Amino acid sequence: MYIEANPARLVALGRLYEGSTIIHNTPLLPGQVKVGVEEVKDADAPIAVPTDEVSLVGQEIHTFHARPTHLAKPLSQ
């Protein structure tokens, strides 16, 4: 998972849940995907879709959140 920067910066690793349309009873907006953060690379980085409970990448660990599709990219093999 990345944040907006020039260039985009890797801040976390996790899973992309393609096909999911809802997170915590809230529908995803067009251009968003459901992600689950498993490893944090930059705990102090702001997230692209903050909530009342979570605003930093370090707070996303082991939770599900919405992320803009263009910021959820697979790592190169």
pLDDT computed for residue 6 by the predictor: 80
Three-state secondary structure string covering the chain: CEECCCCCEECEEEEEECCCCEECCEECCCCEEEEEEEEECCCCCECCCCCCCCCEHHHCECCEEEEEHHHCCCCCC
Global pTM reads 0.82
Taking the alpha carbons of 65, 67, 71, 77 in that order, is the dihedral positive or negative?
positive
From first to last of the 77 residues of the chain, give the pLDDT tens digit. Answer: 888 888 888 999 999 998 899 998 899 999 999 999 999 999 999 988 888 889 999 999 988 999 999 999 877 54
